[in-house]
Amino acid sequence: MNRSSDDDVLGLVASRQATTRAALARQTGLAPSTITGIVNRLLLNGLLEEGGDTASTGGRPGSILLPANSRERALVVELGAHRARFGLADRGGRVSHVNRFDIDIAEGPTTILRTLVERGEELAERSGTEISGYGIALPGPVDPQTGTVVGPSRMPGWNGCTVPEAMREWSELPVVVENDARIGASGESAYRRATSGAPSALGDYIYVKAGSGIGGAFVENGAPRRGAHGLAGDVTHVPVPAGGDRPCQCGNTGCLDTIASAESIRRELRAQGLALPSNDALIETALDGSAQVVTMIRSAGVNLGIALSHTVSFLAPDAVIIGGTLSAVDAFVGGVRQSLHERCLQSVMEHTAVEKSLAGTDSALWGLAEATSVFLNARGAHA
Ligand SMILES: [Zn+2]
């Protein structure tokens, strides 16, 4: 071992020319066992850090190596109608410092995006880190090529807004923008990989985010299908018989959204004389065992299953993963499962697991962390 091989390895990692042990062995011409020895010494001396696993090398996954002492983080934010969840993501695609604040999405992009940049700066200062970019998940259709919001029904004032452009008023840093359900679908796999250390075994799956609204995505070969202009994955505006002639925000009537979203469940309960002030209160009342609330949430799950049944029959996915706030109530997931088993062929359902999301309400943040780690690592090359 000599210092010049150590410097060679550090140089290759810092310039991102080689970030795994296998790549270092190829690039330096040194034996793999020699590289392992050098890397172990550099890790021990705090000159290198280990990041997430490589996903796209085709071979056995290996740890990504990073130059040490990186304070760079991406601010990852999921915007809802009334709330923003946010946290910091590191180069290895891990999420930390998750917190939330109340918003009103109807205040429009200027106010909301400015608030988000301010919150990010506060969080970076508190945690001794530095914001190097942003990942933003939105509760409406997003064209992922441009980051433009396309005809959202729940985001007044946002239609046509190209979010990375709007962000430039406050920040020149890179910005990733995606639909919340689609990035949540990727996040479910990223979370399972990060917590189990193994590749996600989900196969091809449908992911549904059920909260104040309902969004979905189909993940095939590890990638969510985006569809034309990023519009794939709509389940909330699928008409269901129980929706009757209830008017929907999209202009149609009888959409799933009118009876199965957390907001419409609360509206229905209010009509029955039970007023709950927030979606959190709805979930808490269900978890406290209120039969009236649990029955209503189960019925929402049944209707979600009805809306999904054609898609499940057509695609025969390996799994249907239910995320979002409503997934905290087992009866909701049970309702979806019941409907799908009643409506789809047994031969299909034998191979389709209907499960609750493991990443829960953090799945979008994990998906954004995976997406932003790309530019954090690219920046590392010039650090
Ligand atoms: Zn609708």
Is pLDDT above 80 for 298? yes
Distance 250 CA to ligand 1 centre (A): 4
Domain(s) of CATH 1.10.10.10: residues in the chain: 3-67
For residue 24, what are its two tokens?
């270092």
CATH superfamily of 72-182+363-380: ATPase, nucleotide binding domain (3.30.420.40)
Least confident among 12-21, 35-44, 132-141 = 12-21
Domain(s) of CATH 3.30.420.40: residues in the chain: 72-182+363-380, 186-362
Distance 331 CA to ligand 1 centre (A): 24
Distance 207 CA to ligand 1 centre (A): 19
For residue 299, what are its two tokens?
């019925």
Q: What is the mean pLDDT of the segment spanning 58-62?
A: 48
Distance 1 CA to ligand 1 centre (A): 66
Distance 85 CA to ligand 1 centre (A): 25
Q: What is residue 363's predicted lDDT score, i.e. its pLDDT?
A: 96
Distance in angstroms (rounded) separating the CA atoms of residues 121 and 126: 9
Distance 15 CA to ligand 1 centre (A): 49
Is pLDDT above 90 for 18? no
**What is the tens place of the pLDDT at every residue in 61-75?**
467 888 775 788 999
Distance 18 CA to ligand 1 centre (A): 49
CATH number of 3-67: 1.10.10.10
In this structure, which CATH number among 3.40.50.2300, 3.30.390.10, 1.10.10.10, 3.30.420.40 belongs to the domain 186-362? 3.30.420.40
Q: What is residue 49's predicted lDDT score, i.e. its pLDDT?
A: 80
Distance in angstroms (rounded) separating the CA atoms of residues 21 and 13: 10
Distance 13 CA to ligand 1 centre (A): 50
CB atoms within 10 A of CB 59: 8
